């Protein structure tokens, strides 16, 4: 039993299950899944579908954080990707053709990959602090997206595009397949190649890794490229959802949600060991929370207040000061007097 | 004991006879951190000259007065942000705090609450969110960008809780802040402009002449060393975020007066503009160097570019790109300087 | 060598001084013979570890007193206790004969005890005046009075005879000047005791002279100085007395003018000549075949710590490197293996000129380095033992060619068995292992690369005797198999035991490189201590 509790996925999993149970108790219709026109519908299905953009972004964010970095530009990259793709569709002669949509998506994601290279270059080659480096794109990216759309919200009518976010495959939302595929592919690449271990080594101890001959530059660059590409795909899904490119609203605040999901899943912000499964659970927790909040009648625009509280609680739990206070409290409970030794450095 | 010892750093530089070079060297040795600010000033002047040549009638009292009027809120935010960045931190919540206090004030005013209560309440609201961020950063070891993102979330959400739509302000005191113009020949000042300038003056004086201000620089230069010197590091680190929050509240007041309404979607992305202005004005993002006056110059650069773009009839989305690229340029230059200095040691 | 404080002892002593004895009667002049600061039976414990054990220490006004000892001797613990950064677990501190209790560094500073550490704890972005005065800056109506601050700072600098403009930014000045400013700050509050921790490690000769001039001036003012440095020559130039610690205990307190360097080093290292002679030498070079050097270095200089070094690493040969802490051992090793970029010098690997551009390139050329900081630069604590062992090999193979699960376990397991790593659990986080086993994991990682040159920096430090001997024997085996090994150690007997040849470092230079059998423990000690060429008996002038 204690081995189960010690597993790094236990607490995130427990939180998710508890959340689902709570929801079911309060509104029994929560877990109701119905079949209509050969497709499944219901609150759980909605959650699985709606979490697609955040899932992709958080996936990329997990690896960036594992290298002790951060990518604040993901929202802006989403906006750029959506803007580029929809502008292509809008400007083409056959917006409803699958070929056009595929080209548009490819270009959108391609641009996002280039933006990822940009970020990666600033961080891994110029050695600029990740917060600062990605701040630039966070700012300029929206401007680029606005330029591409000409300042308007470009709307299109295109069935293939609509299918991305709203379509079904084998009864399940297509968007679900997208993120599951992404998670599976990234996990396989990380664990089947040496990339996972080397990434963790770089994040845990960059200097020791350097002495062991690990080439950090390429690894770090790669994480930002991946983060960019995944954000690009997330932007496509977002645009498909509203059938429009909204350069201002796309990916708004998604950076913090992604970071929160990564932290909830057990990956430390200090870098090192990461858990993709943990991030998946983290995103599902956030999405379930969103659904709960909406059900409680809170407008989605107001929900950030709740999440601010969640962020505070999560960081407090991880804060060393809290650990120290808890340890002191527990020690005082037991009868023996704690050994007060000042200073923890070993003498030279 | 009189000295006949060789000047410790005499061996580092060749003997230069001319008095001007002597002055130049002494100036650099004493005021090296002013150089980025002078560079920003040079850029401002260049842009103004360029605009004047291009448009023919750009540099005139009307345009320049409007510069202060339109960017007063940004200036106030920049003063607060300077304090935070000099300690090596960052505050991403200022735009949302501005929106929250603005809509909060509009709501209260529309219910007839007196402005004498509303205005201090706004400032206190901003201070409170800043306090929360500062406590998280200092006492719970949370990274500033996460702590301030939590603040952003909180403030933005609360803004929508207050109201999902904009609320007009009809309170005469508040509107007076914006509508009044004091004329000096062809130049004019509004009370909001005065508030902004006063914030700059107070901020600059505090940074230069109070122990708190010097501690802000000390924390940015080396937190551990500052602590060993017996400076009140913890209190200072919390206070800078409170100051940023107060500036957020003040900016909310100014912006509400400017637009005549509170709007929960105000200030989205404003924090990025503020950070850009502060960095362009010569403050190092890594902390320890920067001047409030520099941030004033940075805001003027920002505002001038904004005006130039609208004069050209181009889309405002260019604004984001240009400012983003300028920010990048400054960041890369800062990085190059740091690398050079490290290699020299 | 004039000094102000009384030297109550005229005869050289090598036993701990009985501080309870009345020493006033021995004072040659009317200056007070009572120590300014005294530590009686100082003991510091961290849990079960006793890092300082019943140490006595005396400091007289106007003297420069050196504190010496190798790693783990307890120097920094003693200093921390005296400056209030640490609480004593046992013993007392006396100030002017009265017991005092420092609850914090603030208390110690109030009592006039100030320290200037190696990492200058100043603010490079602020002016010299602020760095001197901040915390006690002159104010008028609550606002900083810049004019008065600059003036006061100028006065402090003048008192020390320094010509530094107080209005200049600190970062504008060299490290040497920054150090002087740090001293000025310490003295701006009427310090009576000044602790200088490695003040000269970044200074050149001229800057050292300036520092020593300042120290001489302070002595005349009656300030007591504790001078910590690894440069023996400087200790003998500037210090009146020296206290030697070893493994947390006091070895003795000596007058430098009567204490031979050889004896000083012997006190620090504590080598037992008898035990040394009884150990058999590991390496016996049998044939006279001239072996080519695999890695060869000429004129290597790096980071001001090692100057103009010539080293040859020969196949099948173990080069032992002996020298005190701070003599440049680590800098030499790091520069040779591409970890640091050297300032000057030529490196030839397998005939081809051109030093490796980095650790990765070095590894590809067959040159590997094991850092002395195995926790911070070696082991990746949160990764498993198995992952740690295969890390470097994996990095060389690249990302795509992953060392598959079974093969990785087999490989790691084989090394665990070969080096007897305990516990033999491949999945345990490497950070949980003992020091000795961590070192073995690190060795396994390097050996898995099938290197040609192995540079080991203090591989047996902090390891129990059994594991020590295992590693020493392993080194011998590796050389027998054709590897070139460079073995750095602070323990002279280990160097003599393991090395075929020995390179002796002293204050950043290689004094000599000799075959091990031509060395006796005493002669090696002399070389390390004095840095002069070998003679049959060490000759040292008494100062």
Q: Is A329 in the same domain as A182? A: no
Given a cut of 80, is residue C492 above it in pLDDT? yes
Per-residue pLDDT at B300: 96
The verdict on residue C482 lying in a domain is yes
Query: Looking at the structure, do residues A308 and A256 belong to the same domain, yes or no?
Result: no
The answer as to whether C202 is a domain residue is no
C394 interaction partners in chain A (CB closer than 8 Å)? 194, 197-198
CB contact under 8 A, B327 and A315: no
Is A199 a residue whose pLDDT tops 90? Answer: yes
Alpha-carbon torsion angle C422, C425, C428, C432, nearest 10: -10
C141 within domain boundaries: no
Q: Identify whether residues C355 and C421 lie together within a single domain.
A: yes
- Specify if A39 maps to a domain: yes
Residue B152: strand pairing partners: none
Return d(Cα C143, Cα B211) in angstroms, integer. Answer: 7
Same-domain pairing of A325 and A285: no
Chain B residue at shortest CA distance from A249: B268
List C residues 200-239 in contact with B (Cβ-Cβ < 8 A): 206-207, 210, 213, 217
* Domain assignment present for B23: no
Closest CA to B190 of B204, B205, B174, B169: B174
DSSP state of C257: G
Interhelix angle for A276-295 vs A304-318, to 10°?
Answer: 140
Asked if C130 lies within 8 A of B220 by C-beta distance, the reply is no
A271 and A319 inside one domain: no
State the total domains in chain A: 2
Q: Quick one: A237 and A181 in the same domain?
A: yes
Using N-to-C axis directions, what is the helix angle for A254-264 and A52-66, rounded to 10°? Answer: 70
Q: Which residues of A touch B328 (CB under 8 A)?
A: 136, 140
Report yes or no: A94 at the C interface, CB cutoff 8 Å: no
pLDDT average, residue stretch B73-89: 97
Q: State whether residue A73 is helix, strand or coil.
A: coil
- DSSP H stretches of helix in C228-285: 232-238, 261-269, 273-278
What is the C-alpha to C-alpha distance for residues B146 and B144, in angstroms, rounded to an integer? 5
- Optimal mutation site among A79, A249, A302, interface B, most CBs of chain B within 10 A: A302
- Which one of A61, A299, A305 makes the best mutation probe of the B interface by having the most chain B beta carbons within 10 Å? A305
Could you read off the pLDDT of C220-267 as tens digits, one per residue?
A: 989 999 999 878 888 999 999 999 998 889 999 999 989 888 888 888
Examine residue A345 and state whether it is found in any structural domain, yes or no. no
User: Mutating which of C43, C44, C46 best tests the A interface, going by the most A Cβ atoms within 10 A?
Assistant: C46
Closest residue, chain C, to B289 (C-alpha): C125
Q: What is the pLDDT of residue C289?
A: 57
CB contact under 8 Å between C377 and A193, yes or no, is no
Same domain for C364 and C492, yes or no, is yes
* d(CA B77, nearest CA chain C) in Å: 24
In a domain, A184, yes or no: yes
Number of CB pairs, chain A paired with chain C, less than 8 A apart: 106
pLDDT, residue B95, reads 96
Domain count, chain B: 1
Longest dimension (CA), chain C: 85
* More confident of the two residues B33 and A181: A181
Partners of residue A274 in chain C, C-beta under 8 Å = none
Same domain, C485 and C519: yes
Nearest to A308 among B141, B150, B339 (CB): B150
Q: Do C383 and A192 touch (CB under 8 A)?
A: no
Is A3 inside any structural domain? Answer: no
Q: Which chains touch A (3 or more CB pairs under 8 A)?
A: B, C
Question: Is B8 within the bounds of a domain?
Answer: no
CB < 8 Å to B225, chain C: 121-123
Query: Contact A348/C76, CB-based, under 8 Å?
Result: yes
Question: How far A135 CA sits from the closest chain C CA (Å)?
Answer: 25
Residues of A with CB below 8 A from C80's CB? 343
Cβ contact C238:C215 at 8 Å: yes
- Assigned domain for C214 exists: no
Handedness of CA B322, B328, B332, B338 (dihedral sign): positive
Q: Are B290 and B284 in contact (CB under 8 A)?
A: yes
- Paired residues of C169 in beta bridges: C127
C261/C293 same-domain check: no
Contacts of B320 in chain A (CB under 8 A): 139-140, 142-144, 146
Instruction: Report pLDDT for A1.
Output: 64
Chain A residues touching residue B269 (CB < 8 angstroms): 139, 142
Q: Of A137, A256, A316, which is closest to B153 when you measure between CB atoms? A: A256
Distance CA B40, CA B58 (A): 19
Q: C333: distance to nearest CA of chain A, Å?
A: 13
Question: What are the pLDDT digits (tens) for A20-37?
Answer: 888 888 888 888 888 888
Q: Answer for the pair C408, C470: CB distance below 8 angstroms, yes or no.
A: no
Of the partner residues C364, C382, C395, the one whose CB lies closest to the CB of residue A214: C395
Supply the DSSP symbol for A93: S
CA distance C31 to chain A (A): 35
State the total domains in chain C.
Answer: 2
**Residue whose entry in the numeric block shows the structure tokens 């949160």:** C382
Q: State the best of A64, A308, A325 to mutate against chain B, taking most chain B CBs within 10 Å.
A: A308
Distance from CA of A236 to the nearest CA of C (A): 30
Q: Is the pLDDT of residue C190 over 90?
A: no
C487 confidence band (pLDDT: 50, 70, 90)? very high
- CATH code at A97? 1.10.3470
Does position A301 have pLDDT exceeding 90, yes or no? Answer: no
Q: Do C511 and C310 contact (CB within 8 A), yes or no?
A: no
What is the C-alpha separation between C419 and A227, in angstroms, rounded?
A: 42
Q: What percent of chain A has pLDDT over 70?
A: 94
Biggest alpha carbon–alpha carbon distance for chain B: 76
Residue C166 covered by a domain: no
Would an 8 Å CB–CB cutoff place C500 in contact with chain B? Answer: no
* Contact status, residue A347 vs residue C76, Cβ threshold 8 Å: yes
Contacts of B84 in chain A (CB under 8 A): none
| C506 shares its domain with C386 | yes
Q: What is the rounded average pLDDT of the residues A232-256? A: 91
Kindly state the greatest CA–CA separation across chain A: 81
Q: Highest mean pLDDT: which of A315-319, B179-183, B291-295, C76-80?
A: B291-295
Q: C294-350 pLDDT, tens per residue?
A: 898 999 988 778 888 999 998 888 999 998 877 889 999 999 999 998 888 989 888
Domain extent, residue B114, equals 35-340
Residue C392: closest CA among C317, C439, C305, C451: C451
Residue B282 maps to a domain: yes
Check which CATH number belongs to the domain holding C257 and give it: 3.40.50
Range of the domain at C393: 286-530
Q: Which of A311, A284, A200 is nearest to B145 (CA)?
A: A311
* Among C508, C138, B320, residue whose Cα is nearest residue A136: B320
Task: Look at the alpha carbons of A70, A75, A78, A84 in this order and tell me if their dihedral is positive or negative.
Answer: negative
pLDDT mean across residues, chain A: 88
Contact A234, A50 (CB under 8 A): no
Global pTM?
0.84
Q: How far does chain A reach from its first CA to its final CA, in angstroms? A: 42
- Residue in chain C nearest B86 by alpha carbon: C125
Burial group, residue A213, by CB count within 10 angstroms (0-12, 13-18, 19+): buried
Whether B153 has its CB under 8 Å from any CB of chain A: the answer is yes
Structure tokens at C212: 């020593």
C275, C465 Cβ separation under 8 angstroms: no
Q: Stretch C112-127: mean pLDDT, rounded?
A: 88
Is the pLDDT at B3 greater than 70, yes or no? no
What's residue B193's pLDDT?
Answer: 93
Mean pLDDT of B113-140: 94
Distance CA C296, CA C305 (A): 19
Q: Which residues pair with C90 in a beta bridge?
A: C43
Q: CA angle at residue B86 from B81 to B91, to 5 degrees?
A: 35
The average confidence (pLDDT) of chain C is 83
Separation of first and last alpha carbons in chain C: 9
Q: How many CB atoms within 10 Å of residue A285?
A: 24
- C264 and C374 share one domain: no
Output the domain CATH number for residue C367.
3.40.50.300
Residue B33 touches partner C, C-beta closer than 8 Å: yes
Residues of A in contact with C358 (CB under 8 A): 210
Q: Are residues A290 and A330 in the same domain?
A: no
Predicted confidence (pLDDT) at residue B183 exceeds the cutoff of 60: yes
Are A195 and A238 members of one domain? yes
Measured between beta carbons, which residues in chain A are less than 8 angstroms from residue C357? none
* CATH label of the domain that carries residue B300: 1.10.3470
- Residue A89: CB atoms within 10 Å: 26
Are A270 and A311 members of one domain?
Answer: no
- Whether B156 and A304 lie within 8 Å, measured CB to CB: yes
**β-strands B167-168, B261-262: how paired?**
antiparallel
A317: containing domain: 304-335
CB-nearest to B157 from A128, A131, A305 is A305
In a shared domain, residues C251 and C370: no
- B85 inside 8 A of chain C by CB: no
B residues 89-148 lying closer than 8 A (beta carbon) to A:
90, 136, 139-143, 145-147
Count CB-CB contacts under 10 A for residue C298. Answer: 14
Q: What is the pLDDT of residues B294-336, one digit of tens each?
A: 999 999 999 999 999 888 888 878 888 999 999 999 888 888 8
Residue B25 lies in a domain: no
Looking at residue C532, its pLDDT comes to: 61
Chains with ≥3 Cβ pairs under 8 A against C?
Answer: A, B
Average pLDDT on A140-157 reads 88
Same domain, C469 and C358: yes
Query: Residue B189 belongs to what H/E stretch?
Result: strand B187-189
- Average pLDDT score over chain B: 88
| Residue A213 at interface with chain C, using a CB cutoff of 8 Å | yes
What one-character DSSP code corresponds to residue C24?
Answer: G
Of A96-100, A229-233, C48-52, C519-523, where does the model show the most confidence?
Answer: A229-233
Question: Which of C85, C380, C397 is closest, CB to CB, to A209?
Answer: C380
Average pLDDT of A91-101? 87
Question: Which of B141, B157, B320 is opposite residue A142, by nearest beta carbon?
Answer: B320
Is 70 exceeded by the pLDDT of residue B168? yes
ipTM above 0.90, yes or no: no
pLDDT by residue (tens digit) across C11-31?
444 444 444 433 333 333 334
**Nearest beta carbon to residue B153 from set A72, A140, A307:** A307
Same domain, yes or no, for C443 and C356? yes
A25 contacts: CB under 8 Å, gap ≥ 6: none
């Amino acid at each position: 039993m204690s081995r189960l509790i010690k597993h790094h996925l236990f607490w995130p999993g427990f939180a998710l299950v508890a959340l689902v149970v709570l929801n079911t108790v309060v509104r029994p219709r929560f877990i109701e899944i119905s079949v209509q026109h050969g497709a499944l519908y219901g609150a759980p299905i909605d959650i699985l579908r709606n979490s697609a953009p955040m899932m992709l972004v958080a996936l990329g964010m997990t690896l960036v954080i594992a290298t002790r970095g951060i990518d604040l530009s993901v929202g802006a990259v989403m906006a750029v990707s959506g803007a580029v793709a929809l502008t292509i569709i809008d400007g083409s002669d056959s917006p409803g053709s699958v070929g056009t949509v595929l080209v548009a998506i490819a270009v959108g994601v391609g641009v996002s990959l280039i933006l990822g290279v940009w970020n990666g270059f600033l961080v891994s080659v110029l050695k600029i602090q990740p917060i600062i480096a990605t701040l630039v794109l966070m700012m300029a990216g929206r401007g680029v997206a606005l330029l591409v759309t000409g300042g308007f919200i470009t709307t299109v009518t295109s069935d293939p595009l609509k299918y991305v976010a709203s379509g079904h495959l084998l009864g399940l939302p297509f968007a679900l397949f997208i993120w599951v595929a992404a998670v599976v592919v990234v996990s396989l690449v990380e664990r089947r190649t040496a990339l996972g271990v080397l990434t963790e080594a770089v994040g845990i101890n960059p200097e020791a890794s350097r002495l062991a001959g690990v080439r950090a530059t390429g690894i770090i660059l790669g994480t930002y490229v991946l983060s960019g590409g995944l954000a690009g795909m997330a932007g496509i899904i977002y645009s498909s959802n509203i059938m429009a490119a909204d350069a201002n609203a796309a990916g708004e605040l998604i950076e913090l949600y992604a970071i929160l999901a990564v932290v909830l899943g057990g990956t430390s912000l200090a870098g090192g060991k990461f858990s993709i499964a943990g991030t998946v659970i983290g995103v599902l927790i956030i999405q379930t929370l969103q659904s709960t909040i909406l059900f409680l009648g809170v407008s989605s625009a107001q929900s950030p207040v709740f999440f601010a509280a969640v962020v505070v609680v999560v960081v407090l739990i991880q804060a060393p000061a809290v650990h120290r206070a808890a340890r002191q409290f527990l020690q005082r409970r037991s009868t023996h007097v704690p050994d007060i030794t000042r200073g923890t450095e070993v003498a030279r | 004991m009189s000295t006949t010892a060789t000047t410790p750093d005499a061996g580092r530089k060749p003997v230069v006879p001319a008095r001007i070079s002597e002055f130049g060297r002494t100036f650099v040795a004493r005021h090296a951190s002013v150089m980025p600010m002078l560079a920003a000033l040079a850029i401002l002047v260049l842009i103004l000259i360029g605009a004047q040549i291009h448009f023919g009638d750009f540099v005139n009292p009307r345009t320049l007065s409007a510069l202060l009027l339109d960017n007063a809120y940004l200036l106030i935010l920049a003063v607060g942000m300077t304090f935070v960045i000099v300690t090596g931190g960052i505050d991403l919540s200022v735009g949302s705090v501005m929106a929250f206090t603005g809509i909060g004030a509009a709501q209260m005013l529309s219910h007839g609450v007196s402005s004498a209560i509303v205005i201090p309440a706004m400032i206190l609201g901003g201070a409170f969110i800043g306090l929360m961020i500062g406590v998280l950063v200092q006492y719970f070891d949370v990274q500033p960008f996460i702590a301030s993102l939590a603040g952003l979330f909180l403030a933005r959400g609360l803004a929508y809780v207050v109201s999902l739509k904009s609320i007009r302000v009809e309170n005469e005191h508040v509107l007076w802040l914006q509508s009044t113009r004091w004329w000096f020949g062809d130049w004019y000042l509004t009370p909001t402009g005065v508030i902004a300038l006063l914030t700059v003056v107070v901020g600059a004086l505090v940074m230069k002449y109070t122990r708190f201000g010097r501690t802000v620089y000390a924390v940015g230069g080396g937190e551990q060393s500052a602590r060993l010197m017996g400076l009140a590091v913890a209190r200072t680190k919390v206070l800078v975020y409170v100051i940023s929050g107060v500036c957020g509240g003040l900016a909310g007041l100014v912006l509400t007066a400017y637009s005549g309404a509170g709007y929960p979607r105000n200030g989205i992305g404003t924090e990025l503009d503020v950070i850009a202005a502060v960095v362009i004005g010569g403050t190092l993002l890594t902390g320890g160097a920067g001047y409030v006056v520099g941030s004033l110059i940075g805001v003027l650069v920002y505002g001038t570019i904004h005006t130039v773009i609208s004069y050209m009839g181009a889309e405002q989305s260019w604004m984001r790109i240009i400012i983003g690229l300028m920010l990048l340029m400054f960041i890369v230059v800062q990085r190059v300087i740091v690398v050079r200095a490290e290699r020299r040691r | 060598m004039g000094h102000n404080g009384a030297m109550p002892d005229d005869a050289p002593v090598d036993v701990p001084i009985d501080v309870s004895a009345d020493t006033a009667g021995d004072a040659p002049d009317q200056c007070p013979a009572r120590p300014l600061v005294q530590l009686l039976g100082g003991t510091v414990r961290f849990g079960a570890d006793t890092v300082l054990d019943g140490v006595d220490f005396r400091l007289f006004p106007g003297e420069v007193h050196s504190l010496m000892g190798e790693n783990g001797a307890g120097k920094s613990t003693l200093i921390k206790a005296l400056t209030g950064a640490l609480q004593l677990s046992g013993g007392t501190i006396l100030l002017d004969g009265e017991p005092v209790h420092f609850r914090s560094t603030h208390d110690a500073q109030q009592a006039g005890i100030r320290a200037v550490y190696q990492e200058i704890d100043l603010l490079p972005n602020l002016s010299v005046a602020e760095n001197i005065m901040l915390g006690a800056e002159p104010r008028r109506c609550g606002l900083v009075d810049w004019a008065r601050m600059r003036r006061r700072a100028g006065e402090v600098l003048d008192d020390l005879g320094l010509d530094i403009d107080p209005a200049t930014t600190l970062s504008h000045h060299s490290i040497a000047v920054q150090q002087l400013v740090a001293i000025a700050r310490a003295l701006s509050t009427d310090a009576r005791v000044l602790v200088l921790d490695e003040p000269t490690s970044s200074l050149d000769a001229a800057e050292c002279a300036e520092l020593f001039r300042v120290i001489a001036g302070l002595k005349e003012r009656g300030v007591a100085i504790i001078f910590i440095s690894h440069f023996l020559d400087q200790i003998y130039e500037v210090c009146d007395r020296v206290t030697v610690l070893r493994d947390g205990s006091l070895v003795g307190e000596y007058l430098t003018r009567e204490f031979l360097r050889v004896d000083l080093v012997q006190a620090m290292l504590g080598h037992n000549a008898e035990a040394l002679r009884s150990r058999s030498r590991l390496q016996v070079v049998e044939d006279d075949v001239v072996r080519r050097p695999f890695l060869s270095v000429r004129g290597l200089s790096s980071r001001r710590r090692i100057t103009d070094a010539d080293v040859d690493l020969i196949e099948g040969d173990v080069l032992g490197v002996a020298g005190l802490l701070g003599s440049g051992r680590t800098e030499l090793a790091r520069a040779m293996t591409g970890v640091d970029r050297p300032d000057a010098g030529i490196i030839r690997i397998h005939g081809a000129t051109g030093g490796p551009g980095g650790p990765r390139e070095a590894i590809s050329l067959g040159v590997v380095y094991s850092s002395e900081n195995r926790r911070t630069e070696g082991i990746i604590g949160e990764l498993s033992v198995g992952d740690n062992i295969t890390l470097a090999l994996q990095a060389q193979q690249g990302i795509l060619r992953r060392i598959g699960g079974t093969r990785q376990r087999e490989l790691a397991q084989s090394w665990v068995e070969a080096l007897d790593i305990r516990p033999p659990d491949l999945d345990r986080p490497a950070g949980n292992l003992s020091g000795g086993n961590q070192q073995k994991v690190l060795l396994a990682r390097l050996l898995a690369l099938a290197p040609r040159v192995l540079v080991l920096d203090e591989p047996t430090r902090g390891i129990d005797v059994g594991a020590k001997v295992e590693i020493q024997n392993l080194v011998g085996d590796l050389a027998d198999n054709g590897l070139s090994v460079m073995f750095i150690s602070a323990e002279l007997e280990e160097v003599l035991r393991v090395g075929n040849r020995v390179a002796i470092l002293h204050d950043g230079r290689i004094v000599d490189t000799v075959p091990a059998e031509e060395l006796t423990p005493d002669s090696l000690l002399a070389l390390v201590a004095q840095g002069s060429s070998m003679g049959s008996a060490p000759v040292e002038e008494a100062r």
